[in-house]
Every structure is written in structure tokens, then in C-alpha cells.
């Protein structure tokens, strides 16, 4: 896809997420790798419902601002993931309701916040590590994500929300939507007797992708 098509795709997908309640106010940010080697990111403070393709931010791998409006304050953590996972070409960060609710619970398994109970979670996401709480924009979020970026497709920032990767922006958005549904189910099922997938069932699903 050309840079112009990718810009329009970001605007369209962001608006679609906004209209369906995955993003509200100025929360969340998106980025993707451009054919030029630069990265396209949502501007800081922007609403997913009102992005302008021509004003999206362009940064280089070191976070230098190349063009467009001032980039998201989280661009450093997006870049940390790209640097450490070459399969990742797009990233979605949301404050979506169910994943953010999950991120506020005490006692999560920090290696994997959602114990698998459906195949799709295993195939699309695998495991969801929890990053200890840091204030939004703290450069240490990038350090924490850099350590884990090569091994995971999504992350849960404690008391904040999810960070989800994809092979392109469509894939990252699909992963985000499905992960949000999984969190919704996990919270709905809380306190109920769940039949979790067995080790063998999980092994059988691993590597099957989507
Ligand atoms: O939670 C925050 O403040 C950020 O992580 C966020 O979601 C929005 O920040 P910007 O991308 O700088 O608008
Ligand atoms: Zn945020």
C-alpha cells in the first residue's frame, strides 16, 4: 500500500473503533510502519473519531518528529516494540472498557492476565503479560515493553489499558477487538466454574495463527 492509502486506512479504522466504543475522548493511539521506513502515528490528544490523514504524525525509529502534528506521547513505546519485533508492522493502544477494567484488578498473573478458555485467544494473542503501572508517557513503559516485545503479541499496561500488535493495521485492530471480547468474557465468567483449555489443547492451538 502507498503512504497515502495507509494514512486513509488509519483514519478509517480509527473512526470505526471510535464509533463502536473501543475509543473515547482523546484516549489511545495508533501507529504503523510506512514504506519509507518512517512510522505514522496518531497525534497527541487526538480523537480516533476525528483524525485528519494529512495531519497524522511521522517519526523516525529514534522518535524524531519528521512531519505532521506532534506525535502521541506514547510513540516511544510503539518504537520500542518495532525495534524488538520485526514481524510487528502496526500497533494499537486503547483504553477499551473491559481490558482496562481487567488491568485494574489485583493479583493478575503477570505472565498472562487471561488464562485461556477459548481457542481464538490462544491463536491470535497467545499470552497477555502485564506491565507494572507507570504513568502514561513515562519512558520506562518503553523499557518494559522492549524486554518482552519479541515474545508477545499483546500487553496489558496495569491500571491503564492494552497494547496490541499486528502484521498490519487491520490485523492489529482485529486482534484488539477480539482481545477486548475475551476480556469481556473473562469478567462475565468471573466467579463461575470455567472449563479452561487444557495444556494439551493449548499446545495443539499454538502456532496455528488465525
Ligand atoms: O493514557 C494516556 O494518556 C496515553 O497513553 C493515551 O492513551 C493518549 O495519549 P496521546 O496518544 O498522547 O494522546
Ligand atoms: Zn493510554
The candidate with the shortest Cα–Cα distance to 153, out of 203, 77, 90, is: 90
Separation of CA 95 and ligand 1 centre (Å): 9
Put residue 199 in one of left, alpha, beta given phi > 0 → left and psi -120 to 50 → alpha.
alpha
Query: How high is the pLDDT of residue 59?
Result: 98
Task: List, as ranges, residues with CB under 5 A of the ion ligand 2.
Answer: 136
The model's pLDDT over 1-30, given as tens digits with 9 standing for 90+, comes to 999 999 999 999 999 999 999 999 999 999
Residue 83, CA distances (Å) to 58, 68, 195 in order: 16, 22, 38
Over residues 142-162, the mean pLDDT reads 98
Supply the DSSP symbol for 187: H
Q: Higher-confidence residue: 207 or 1?
A: 1
Query: How high is the pLDDT of residue 208?
Result: 72
Please tell me the residue having the least CA distance from ligand 1 atom 1.
136
Of 22, 74, 82, 177, which residue is the catalytic one? 74
Residues having CB closer than 6 A to ligand 1 are 26-29, 42, 44-45, 72-74, 93, 136
Query: How high is the pLDDT of residue 155?
Result: 98
Give the dihedral sign, CA 190/192/195/198: positive
Q: The whole model's pTM is what? A: 0.97
Question: 82 an active-site residue?
Answer: no
How far apart are the C-alpha atoms of 115 and 4, rounded to whole Å? 40
Q: 210 pLDDT exceeds 80?
A: no
Please tell me the residue having the least CA distance from ligand 1 atom 5.
136
Q: 209 pLDDT exceeds 70?
A: no
The model's pLDDT over 107-133, given as tens digits with 9 standing for 90+, comes to 999 999 999 999 999 999 999 999 999
Separation of CA 124 and ligand 2 centre (Å): 22
- Grid coordinates belonging to 88: 510487528
* Residue 116 CB-density burial (10 A; 0-12 exposed, 13-18 middle, 19+ buried): buried
Separation of CA 151 and ligand 1 centre (Å): 24
Query: How high is the pLDDT of residue 207?
Result: 73
Query: How high is the pLDDT of residue 26?
Result: 95
Q: What is the CA radius of gyration of the chain?
A: 17
The model's pLDDT over 29-87, given as tens digits with 9 standing for 90+, comes to 999 999 999 999 999 999 999 999 999 999 999 999 999 999 999 999 999 999 999 99
Question: 196 an active-site residue?
Answer: no
Amino acid at each position: 500500500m502507498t503512504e497515502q492509502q495507509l494514512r486513509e486506512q488509519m483514519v478509517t479504522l480509527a473512526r470505526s473503533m471510535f464509533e463502536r466504543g473501543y475509543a473515547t475522548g482523546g484516549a489511545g493511539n495508533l501507529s504503523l510502519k510506512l514504506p519509507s521506513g518512517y512510522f505514522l502515528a496518531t497525534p497527541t490528544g487526538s480523537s480516533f473519531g476525528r483524525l485528519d490523514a494529512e495531519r497524522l504524525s511521522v517519526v523516525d525509529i529514534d522518535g524524531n518528529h519528521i512531519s505532521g502534528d506532534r506525535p502521541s506521547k506514547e510513540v516511544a513505546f510503539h518504537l520500542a516494540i518495532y525495534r524488538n519485533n520485526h514481524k510487528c508492522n502496526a500497533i494499537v493502544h486503547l483504553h477499551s472498557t473491559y481490558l482496562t477494567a481487567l488491568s485494574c484488578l489485583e493479583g493478575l498473573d503477570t505472565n498472562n492476565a487471561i488464562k485461556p478458555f477459548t481457542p481464538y485467544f490462544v491463536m491470535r494473542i497467545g499470552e497477555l503479560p502485564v506491565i507494572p503501572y507507570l504513568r502514561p508517557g513515562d519512558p520506562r513503559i518503553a523499557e518494559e515493553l522492549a524486554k518482552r516485545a519479541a515474545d508477545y503479541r499483546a500487553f496489558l499496561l496495569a491500571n491503564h489499558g492494552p497494547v496490541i500488535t499486528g502484521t498490519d493495521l487491520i490485523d492489529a485492530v482485529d486482534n484488539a477487538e477480539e482481545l477486548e471480547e475475551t476480556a469481556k468474557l473473562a469478567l462475565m465468567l468471573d466467579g463461575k466454574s470455567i472449563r479452561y483449555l487444557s495444556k494439551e489443547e493449548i499446545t495443539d492451538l499454538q502456532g496455528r495463527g488465525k
